[in-house]
């Protein structure tokens, strides 16, 4: 065994320069977690609607508040990113798209589609 | 277990600054991770400034120069100095690679060199590879075939296509792996789960043997990877493929195993 059991752990996140692909992967997980919280909020909204006008108005007032709109905007981004990146994962599951060039390209496509879909959605909301 | 920060004994302290370049016109500073098992001190980052006209073109040449001329206690692994032995794998400027194939002029101004990430350090740039070798052994990386040898007594033959699946048409197939473990130690999933997750290097070799048409242990090999950890901790982060100094594609190999798991062939 080791002469010195006090061996340090070499630096990892502290030094590793994460490539775009890794950051997209982390983003997939973060948006997934955000969507779970969003699902709870939708459940709250539905329950409020079932309870009657008072609770429903409370929920809608929150949704129309700047914080509510900010959160909904965040969830729309999360929803589209997670959806498109999920499709990217499905394509990977068929064994395709693993060349570095392809993986970067699909990542850029996901980002672009996310931006377009989010923009289209909020354009609809305000027009 | 996910732990984002380093344990207390692993926190890196500022180190010594040694300028051995004088007023050379081409100089460069390397910040190198140092840890001495014979002291109770924390690791530190020593700075060495050297005259580039006195050493070869690769990062390995620079650290050999530092060991020869400045500090003979600097410890690292190296052997072939041409990217085929896999000994001098380390983290250079934030990316795992081989010091012998990384050109100094491709590095930033203030190159930081640390051991392969998230490993127990034996000394300086030498990580303890015992565990990864054990994991490699666990996939039984040898030919398993009890069929009698061909009648002419010569080797078992493959088709050109089956051979290419292992070697790659461009030489970048799974058999090109030199076991430097740049990929495994670049994988966040391996950082957090190396106790049970085999990591990209070992899984690429698992695929290499599963794909070998001369091997007859495919079913057994697949069975061993079925649990939630051994292979399925791979989340296609792609750091493995991005960092491989030999241009191999571990992520693709793992995806091929996952496909076989589903199709059950």
Q: Per-residue pLDDT tens for B139-196? A: 999 999 999 988 888 889 999 999 999 999 999 999 999 999 999 999 999 999 999 9
Total-model pTM: 0.94
Residue A4's pLDDT is what? 55
Q: Judge contact between B243 and B183, C-beta under 8 A.
A: yes
> Average pLDDT, whole number, for chain A?
95
Comparing alpha-carbon positions, the chain B residue that sits nearest to A3 is B37
> Residue A14 and residue B210: Cα distance in Å, rounded?
36
Question: Among candidates B211, B185, B22, B33, which has minimal Cα distance to B122?
Answer: B33
pLDDT above 50 (res A1): no
Residue A3's pLDDT is what? 52
Q: What is the pLDDT of residues B12-43, one digit of tens each?
A: 999 999 999 999 999 999 999 999 999 989 99
Q: Cα–Cα–Cα angle for A10, B66, B181, nearest 5°?
A: 35
Residue B132's pLDDT is what? 98
List CB contacts (< 8 A) between A10 and chain B: 10, 33, 91, 114-121, 127
> Residue B191 and residue B185: Cα distance in Å, rounded?
7
A13 min Cα distance to partner chain B (Å): 7
Mean pLDDT for the stretch of residues B70-91: 97
> Average pLDDT, whole number, for chain B?
96
B6 interface with A at CB cutoff 8 Å: yes
List CB contacts (< 8 A) between A95 and chain B: 252, 255-256, 259
Buried b (16+ CB within 10 A) or exposed e, A30-58: ebeebbeebeebeeebeebeeeeeeebee
Give rounded-to-5 percent helix, strand, coil for chain A: 80, 0, 20
Q: CB A103: neighbour CB atoms within 10 A?
A: 23
Residue B218's pLDDT is what? 96
Question: In this complex, do B93 and A17 lie within 8 Å of one another by their Cβ atoms?
Answer: yes
Nearest to B127 among A10, A92, A93 (CB): A10
B43 interface with A at CB cutoff 8 Å: yes
Nearest to A89 among B35, B93, B236 (CB): B236
């Amino acid at each position: 065994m080791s002469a010195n059991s006090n061996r340090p752990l070499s630096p990892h996140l502290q030094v590793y320069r994460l490539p775009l692909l890794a950051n997209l992967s982390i983003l997939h997980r973060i948006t997934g977690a955000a969507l779970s919280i969003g699902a709870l909020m939708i459940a709250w909204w539905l329950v409020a609607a079932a309870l009657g006008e008072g609770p429903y108005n409370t929920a809608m007032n929150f949704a129309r508040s700047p914080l509510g709109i900010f959160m909904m905007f965040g969830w729309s981004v999360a929803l589209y990113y997670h959806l498109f990146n999920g499709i990217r994962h499905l394509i990977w599951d068929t064994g395709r798209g693993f060349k570095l060039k392809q993986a970067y390209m699909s990542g850029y496509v996901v980002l672009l589609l996310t931006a377009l879909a989010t923009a289209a959605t909020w354009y609809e909301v305000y027009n | 277990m996910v732990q984002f920060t380093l344990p207390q004994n692993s926190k890196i302290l500022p180190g010594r600054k040694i300028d051995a370049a004088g007023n050379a016109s081409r100089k460069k500073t390397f910040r190198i991770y140092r840890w001495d098992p014979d002291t109770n001190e924390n690791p530190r980052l020593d700075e060495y400034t050297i005259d580039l006209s006195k050493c070869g073109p690769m990062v390995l040449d620079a650290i050999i120069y530092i060991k020869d001329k400045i500090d003979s206690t600097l410890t690292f692994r190296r052997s072939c100095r041409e990217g085929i032995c896999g000994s001098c794998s380390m983290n250079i400027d934030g990316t795992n690679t081989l010091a012998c194939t990384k050109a100094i002029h491709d590095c930033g101004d203030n190159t930081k060199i640390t051991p392969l990430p998230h490993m127990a350090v034996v000394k300086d740039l030498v990580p303890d590879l015992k565990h990864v070798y054990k994991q490699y052994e666990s996939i039984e990386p040898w030919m398993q075939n009890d069929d009698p040898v061909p009648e002419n007594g010569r080797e078992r033959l493959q088709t050109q296509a089956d051979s290419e699946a292992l070697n790659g048409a461009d030489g970048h197939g799974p058999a090109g792996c030199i076991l430097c473990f740049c990929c495994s130690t670049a994988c966040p999933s391996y950082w957090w789960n190396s106790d049970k997750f085999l990591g990209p290097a070992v899984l690429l070799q698992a695929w290499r043997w599963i794909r070998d048409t001369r091997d007859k242990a495919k079913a057994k090999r697949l069975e061993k990877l079925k649990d939630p950890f051994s292979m399925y901790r791979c989340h296609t982060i792609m750091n493995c493929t991005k960092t491989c100094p030999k241009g191999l594609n571990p992520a693709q190999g793992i995806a091929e195993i996952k496909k076989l798991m589903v199709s059950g062939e």
